[in-house]
Structures are given as C-alpha cells and as structure tokens.
C-alpha cells in the first residue's frame, strides 16, 4: 500500500498491492494499521455502494457539514470513474481548487476525501460500481452540495451530456453555499 500526494493538502491516492495468480486476484482494500502508518485517520462506520448504469453519470458534488462532516475513502470496484474533490475550506490557499483522477477496477487505487472537501464523480464506463467508506453516518440535516459545473471551479468533466439526478441539477454554486469548514480547524 502506497500513498501518493496530490496538489490538495490531505487528498491522497492510495495504490493497493494486488496478488494475482491463475485463480484471479486478492486485494486488501482496508487495513487500519496500514492506514495509520500512512497517516490516514478514519474510524469507518458506514460503507456505501452505488451502481451507475450509464456512461456519463455524474454524482455530486456532495459533502456533509460539521459537526457531521465525513472523511471518505473511495474505490471503483467495477467499471471506471473520473473522481473529483474540491477544497471548500474557507481561508485555504487552495479554496475552490479541484483535483481529479481515474479510479477503475483495473488500477487498484483508492482516493481519500478529507473533511472540508466536496466529492463527485463521472462514470466513464457503463454499469460502474463505486464503493466508499465514511467515518461519520449519513445525516440528511447536514448534507450539502455544489453544482457540478460551477464555472468558478471549472472542473473538466469527461462528458458533454451528463446524466444527473434532479437534486444534483439544483445544487448551488460554491459562492452560494453555507459551508462551515475553516482551513486549519480540526474536524475530528
């Protein structure tokens, strides 16, 4: 298991070790001791899984406000996604900046999404399954989101005709959100 730093503080790609033979493969996707050695804190309480039937499906950009903020570890177990995180911590030197990477069933990678970041993805293959671990239970009273195509963020999505939920189509732009994340605060 290896940690790859990104341009956004606290956002990492985790490359997993894969053992393959004629039977198939084995991958350890979560190991608390190894995560701690990589300085990845998270006491995961919930696993979520989504199936997106169509290529070009965008889910997000989502987050959960304090005091129910979530740290996520995202993987793609079937198909492929372009996975995106956006820094929404007020006062952060990278506020409003984003990072994107491909996660797929083939590249054995995870993406960490710290508290204080919005998360979303676009499927690049049909019948894509995404799984993510979170360290806080879902709280509908604390959920928030940002419009996927907010021009001030400028995410390059790999689709011209996205498939979105009605809820995600109506999300506000970053400047119109009520985020309560402040750079430097301890969200634990």
Q: Look up the CATH number of the domain holding residue 80.
A: 2.60.120.10
Please tell me the total number of residues recorded for the chain in this structure. Answer: 188
- Residue 121 in any domain: the answer is yes
User: In which domain, by residue range, is 150 found?
Assistant: 43-176
Asked if 54 is an active-site residue, the reply is no
Of 63, 82, 119, 132, the active-site residue reads 132
**Residue 141 located in a structural domain:** yes
Question: What is d(CA 27, CA 23) in angstroms, rounded to the nearest whole number?
Answer: 13
Q: Residue 79 domain-assigned?
A: yes
The reply to whether 92 falls in a domain is: yes
The active-site residue out of 62, 63, 82, 119 is 62
CA distances (Å), origin 114, targets 38, 125, 161: 14, 26, 29
Residue 132 is among the residues annotated as catalytic for this protein: yes
Ordered per-residue pLDDT tens for the chain, 188 residues:
999 999 999 999 999 988 889 999 888 888 888 888 888 877 899 999 999 999 999 999 999 999 999 999 999 999 999 999 999 999 999 999 999 999 999 999 999 999 999 999 999 999 999 999 999 999 999 999 999 999 999 999 999 999 999 999 999 999 999 899 999 887 65
How far apart are the C-alpha atoms of 33 and 40, rounded to whole Å?
10
Residues linked to residue 112 through DSSP beta bridges, in sequence order: 73
Which residue do the tokens 């996205």 mark? 162
Q: How many domains does the chain have?
A: 1
The answer as to whether 26 is a domain residue is: no
């Amino acid at each position: 298991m290896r940690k790859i730093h990104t341009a956004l503080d606290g956002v990492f790609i985790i490359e997993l070790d894969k053992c393959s033979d004629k039977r198939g493969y084995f991958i350890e996707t979560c190991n608390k001791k190894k995560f701690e050695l990589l300085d990845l804190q998270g006491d995961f309480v919930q696993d979520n899984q989504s199936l997106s039937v169509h290529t070009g499906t965008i889910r997000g950009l989502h987050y959960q406000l304090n005091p129910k903020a979530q740290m996520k570890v995202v993987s793609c177990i079937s198909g492929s996604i372009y996975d995106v995180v956006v820094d929404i911590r007020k006062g952060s030197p990278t506020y409003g900046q984003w990072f994107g990477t491909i996660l797929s069933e083939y590249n054995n990678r995870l993406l960490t999404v710290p508290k204080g970041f919005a998360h979303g993805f676009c499927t690049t293959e049909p019948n894509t399954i995404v799984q993510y671990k979170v360290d806080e239970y879902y709280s509908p009273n604390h959920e928030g989101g940002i419009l996927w195509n907010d021009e001030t963020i400028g995410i390059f999505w790999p689709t011209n005709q996205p498939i979105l939920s009605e809820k995600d189509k109506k999300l506000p732009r970053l400047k119109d959100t009520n985020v309560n994340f402040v750079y430097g605060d301890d969200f634990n």
